[in-house]
Amino acid sequence: MLKYFVGSVIGLLSVPSAAWAGAWTLPEGTGQWFATITADDATRYFNGSGLASTPRYDKDEAQLLIEYGLTDRLTAIVDPGLQHIDIAAPTSAERTGLGYTEFGARYGFIQDPTWVFSGQATLRVPGTTDTSNPAAVGYTDVEADLRLLLGHNFKIGDLPAFFDVEVAERVRTAGYPSEFHGDATIGVKVLPRWLLLAQSFNVVSEGSGISIFGGSYEYYKLQLSAVYEVTPTWSVQGGGFTTYAGRNALQENGAIFGVWHRF
């Protein structure tokens, strides 16, 4: 989920009128990659009436999102990942290995100097099929992610800014419920080399099926981060996130660090 915005607008750091990734497509023959590490844990979950205790859940993930402009309107996407999940007693489960690897593309339907409307489709291939391991729950089935994206560049006073809004259908198999995703990002370039990002990630299951706590679920995450442009082609990102509301879902808190590069 987080990867769609982790590097939303590397272009905004150097070209205020052009944002890359998110809803934007890349110019033909150019590319970019975003290497990110996230670490989060949870000791509570939303049980429908508030927060309740749960065995400690720790998750560390590393992802490498690679995008390349096949044409000015069509951007190819590859996104492999690694993960480590550790669940404390009495569950006592652990897993280390490949997470999901995504393959797909984004196509720009409408593009002008400040607005873009695009569509994106990716196939998500799991790194494990071991459904007997509680640490693998939710990560064992083939999925498809189909989303519509809207982006806009504007100014807040003299400060370059943008927003990116995305809605998606996450089609899942093997007993897991499909999901609706609604994500949004606002970014403001507060200094020549500094970009601040506020991001919201929201998931609602479509039915119950297999889930960690049983029944249907939903959760809402807020992420705040800052991006510093080291050179015109290299940037670093740091920030944190929290799950501030939900139902039958973990109350996760964590940190994110990223390195962005365009070529």
Q: What is the mean pLDDT of residues 189-203?
A: 96
Total-model pTM = 0.90
Q: What is the mean pLDDT of residues 205-232?
A: 88
Separation CA 70–CA 65 (nearest Å): 16
What pLDDT score does 71 carry? 97
Q: In CATH, which of 3.40.50.300, 2.40.160.40, 1.10.10.350, 3.30.420.40 is domain 3-262?
A: 2.40.160.40
Separation CA 104–CA 69 (nearest Å): 12
pLDDT in tens, 130-147: 888 888 888 888 999 999
pLDDT in tens, 51-105: 999 999 999 999 999 999 999 999 999 999 999 999 999 989 999 999 999 999 9
Q: Where are the beta strands (DSSP E) in 126-177?
A: 143-156, 159-171
What pLDDT score does 207 carry? 82
pLDDT in tens, 166-175: 999 999 887 7
Please determine, for residue 8, whether its predicted confidence score (pLDDT) is greater than 80: no
Q: Is the peptide bond before 134 cis (omega within 30 degrees of 0)?
A: no
CA angle, residues 168, 173, 175, in degrees to nearest 5 = 120
CA torsion through residues 172, 163, 35, 78, sign: positive
What pLDDT score does 173 carry? 83
For the chain, domain boundaries: 3-262
User: How many residues appear in the chain?
Assistant: 263
- Would you call 11 helix, strand, or coil by DSSP? helix
Q: What are phi and psi of 3, to 5 degrees?
A: -60, -25
Look over the chain and give the mean of its residue pLDDT values, rounded to a whole number.
89
How much of the chain, in percent, has pLDDT values that exceed 90? 77
Separation CA 50–CA 242 (nearest Å): 16
Q: What is the mean pLDDT of residues 16-38?
A: 81
